[in-house]
Structure 1
């Protein structure tokens, strides 16, 4: 992903600032969307974030989940209790350590939440259809690197 910048250093600074501003704006819009989805599903924002992590990354233990979300273990217990009470997760014994548990998203409920994102997903499909495969690869790389930078920055603040 090496390209040559042909503009002036001032042009480059403006372009970088525009990207950063766009990312801040995107963060705000996605936060608003997630809040509305949470509300429609009867979940707290952090509950939706936890559920999304379980769907995306698969079953995990409560301690690992708390670390991933940057939550205190006692807070994680409350989140998991709410999700369990609502039928959003399943708790199983860890086959490797019977004293531990594994948390997984309930397969029969995930579609309820993700159906609420259908408008956004349709819009993303339309947006992505306007880019070439090479451009999508660059965008995907940029987003993955940005997410990793965010994870590292969050960990540094922990």
Structure 2
């Protein structure tokens, strides 16, 4: 391969990498807007919906672990949890395994999850149609890329949170 050809290939790779990063930023914006509309439909604040998702995926979870994962101050987390509990989205339960008898865990109430799922059904249906166009090997590549991208985002978030 000639030096000019390898230089052209490197430029094309940089251009495609830049397009991927731009697309990820646009995807982030679109998902943020979708989540904002879902929050409004559920009469939740955006941060409340984010925390509800974390509780649903990670729960039961302690309030302090949730605050760390969400990057929120514990006092802010208390307000979020109060709103979610008042709205019937979560319960606080005593943690029987904790040394401190005051310790609680947070658990999402499954009977409310159908409301959230319904609001995302349009996006989920579209994703099913889109993913049907890919082979199993391509889906595995995409899943790997998204896992690695998520990890990179989590690490970047943690680094900024510790700054």
TM-score, normalization: structure 1? 0.94
What CA distance in whole angstroms lies between the structure 2 residues aligned with 1:145 and 1:24? Answer: 16
Number of the residue aligned with 1:8 = 9
Q: How does 1:9-158 map to 2 (within 5 A)?
A: 9-97=10-98, 98-158=101-161
Cα distance between partner residues in 1 of 2:68 and 2:158: 9
Runs of 4+ in 1 over 2 A off after TM superposition: none
Provide the TM-score with structure 2 as the length reference. Answer: 0.91
Whole-Å Cα distance in 2 between the matches of residues 134 and 54 of structure 1? 32
Structure number having the greater helix percentage: 2
Q: Distance in 2 between matches of 1:144 and 1:108?
A: 29
Aligned CA-pair RMSD: 1.0
- Give the CA deviation at 1:114: 1.6
Deviation for aligned residue 1:111: 1.1
Q: Distance in 1 between matches of 2:114 and 2:54?
A: 15
- In the TM superposition, residue 23 of structure 1 has moved relative to its aligned partner by 0.2
Distance (whole Å) between structure 2 residues aligned to residue 150 and residue 50 of structure 1: 17
2:107 is paired with a residue whose SS is strand
**Runs (5+) with no aligned partner, structure 2:** 1-5
Distance 1:55 1:134 in 2: 29
> Counterparts of 1:118 and 1:24 in 2: how far apart (Å)?
23
Tell me the SS of whatever aligns to 1:109: helix
Query: Aligned with 1:108: secondary structure?
Result: helix
Structure-1 residue corresponding to 2:3: none
Q: Residue by residue, what CA displacement relative to the aligned partner does 1:74-117 show, whole Å, maximum 9, x if unpaired?
A: 00000000000000001100011222000000111111112100
Please give the alpha-carbon distance, in whole angstroms, between the structure 2 residues aligned to 1:141 and 1:66: 27
Q: For this pair of structures, how many residues does the alignment match? A: 153
Deviations 1:51-81 (A, max 9, x none): 1111112210000000000000000000000
Gaps of 5+ in 1: 1-5
